[in-house]
Chain A
């Protein structure tokens, strides 16, 4: 079952912002300007990464930069803490790595 089959987060407000597109594991996805990378991924998918020690999916935890469980990899190799980074048009993220 692919992680993109159902989203984790649901928008309840602030939906009038400008859309942006990113790719998540090679698939095109839509998010909004002002979304953190964490939000942009989780309104499309149910995980941000796979823990390198126990190989289980993770989707963040504290959302305030403390737990370090939301690091995601970009296709270019850069690593970002998803709760503290903003999504940008054209970002290409990978959620199947540690």
Chain B
């Protein structure tokens, strides 16, 4: 590739963003390295079941079956033209090399000249008492159990949170034959109406949401808005969710499976290790890697795209992936494809309006997050309670998230704060009566995920 002015291009992630980025690179005659933690391409949203599973795309992805099939076949067509490394974890980025660990145990350091990070997202959760009981999962986790394994997380499942996934996964469970005990939306119904003007920009996506809601209602699945989950109870696993209704009354719903989630949060640890600066995004209540509209970061040769660069959804991620690859190509001296760039930008503008609608329709439950009872576990890795974090904030004036982490160990466990981080930030901000932005963000540390001792780096 030296003729095009540059060496190796590495793409991390094989979801919609990574696949579309790789496709644009291949189209330009480049053979990128594509590293993905999963055994097959598609990302979380279009995750493909293992060999031997038989359900058609319609059963797995519902109304998104077309997009899923298109993504998979696009990726399959790329396979002979890319250096594909599935089952491979990028655990560090250092000195312009990505350090990888293969599931089979192999280690490698892959140097790059251009790096495109398409690392995706995970569920954003807000703890409540009992959330670590067996049977309690994220909405995304509940969906993976069904889509990827043909299993339900319980016989009788409650769905709680505020997220487009809330209605989608409940619908998928009911369709597949699970009993949906209740769908409990923590947002009041009025915010959905306030979001309507922006939501209409979503077109098909918006219509799909209405379809799921209507389908569930027609089957008399209890759907309640303005709910506050109070606690999950059970002995060896969840047996019921106790919740407060909008009228203040306490109710409980029996269940042996419980799925929870409040939208998504970016998986951005690798951008941090690549020394990309971060910017606070008030609408998403999170810090995201700094980049221009093409995904170009201030670090030369490093690009970010898809949900890992700020939550925008699968359709937007596919566009952002292609756009970042086009920027990368331009920076390496390829002739720019301006017509294609304009077409992408137009679609992105429409999706941005819809995204703002989603942020209004599915708000983060700030009051709930800041008023979690003291005895609730916040860090599920190391079993640190919300009260312990509050005590450190008060006694040692820990008004910055990394300082609070050093004292309380919240965010220091195996998951590195992926799960508890957003709520920890809300609690620090709430206790200090400060803005969410002012408490800062948890810094990523290598390895970004646990790796076996024998596979630790020699240096």
Binding site for B on A (CB under 8 A): 1, 3, 5, 8-18, 33-36, 39, 42-43, 46-47, 51, 53-54, 56-69, 71, 79, 81, 83-86
State the interface size on chain B (CB cutoff 8 A). 55
When the two chains form their complex, are residues B415 and A66 in contact, meaning their CB atoms are under 8 A apart? yes
Does B404 sit at the interface, judged by CB under 8 A? no
- Does B149 sit within 8 A of A, measured CB to CB? yes
Known contacts A67-B419, A69-B381: A61-B141 contact under CB 8 Å:
yes
Question: A61 and B138: CB pair below 8 A?
Answer: yes
Do residues A68 and B414 form an inter-chain contact, with CB atoms below 8 A? Answer: yes
- Chain B positions 112-171 with a Cβ under 8 Å from a chain A Cβ: 122-123, 132-138, 140-141, 144-146, 148-155
Q: Closest approach, in angstroms, between the C-beta of B375 and any C-beta of chain A?
A: 12
Closest 5 CB pairs of A and B: A14-B150, A59-B134, A54-B383, A68-B414, A53-B383
The B interface is mostly helix, strand or loop, or mixed, namely loop
Return 27 A-B CB contacts under 8 Å, by A number: A3-B236, A8-B134, A8-B153, A8-B256, A10-B155, A12-B151, A12-B177, A13-B59, A13-B150, A13-B176, A14-B149, A34-B53, A34-B149, A36-B149, A42-B151, A46-B135, A51-B132, A57-B237, A59-B134, A60-B137, A64-B141, A66-B419, A67-B415, A68-B413, A69-B132, A69-B380, A84-B103
Q: How far is the CB of A58 from chain B (nearest CB, A)?
A: 6
* CA–CA, A50 and B270, complex, Å: 30
- Docked-complex contact B154 and A12, CB < 8 angstroms: no
Pick the contact of B419: A13, A33, A61 (CB < 8 A): A61
Give the number of A-B contacts (CB < 8 Å). 149
In the complex, the answer to whether A1 meets B236 with C-beta atoms within 8 Å is yes
For chain A, what secondary structure do more than half of its interface residues adopt (helix, strand, loop), or is it mixed?
loop
Closest to B415 in A: A68
Q: Tell me whether A66 and B418 are in contact in the complex, defined as CB-CB below 8 angstroms, given that A8-B237, A35-B149, A84-B37 are known contacts.
A: yes
Q: Are B136 and A61 in contact (CB under 8 A)?
A: yes
Known A12-B176, A13-B59, A64-B144; judge A43-B415 contact (CB<8 A).
no
Contacts A60-B137, A66-B415, A68-B449; A10 near B53 (Cβ below 8 A): no
Please give 16 more A-B residue pairs, beta carbons under 8 A apart, in addition to A14-B149, A62-B419, A64-B44. A8-B134, A9-B145, A9-B152, A10-B154, A13-B55, A33-B52, A57-B134, A60-B141, A61-B132, A62-B138, A62-B140, A64-B122, A66-B122, A66-B418, A68-B449, A69-B414
Residue of B with least CB distance to A68: B414
A9 to B135, CA, bound (A): 8
Instruction: Check B140 against A10 for contact (C-beta < 8 Å).
Output: no
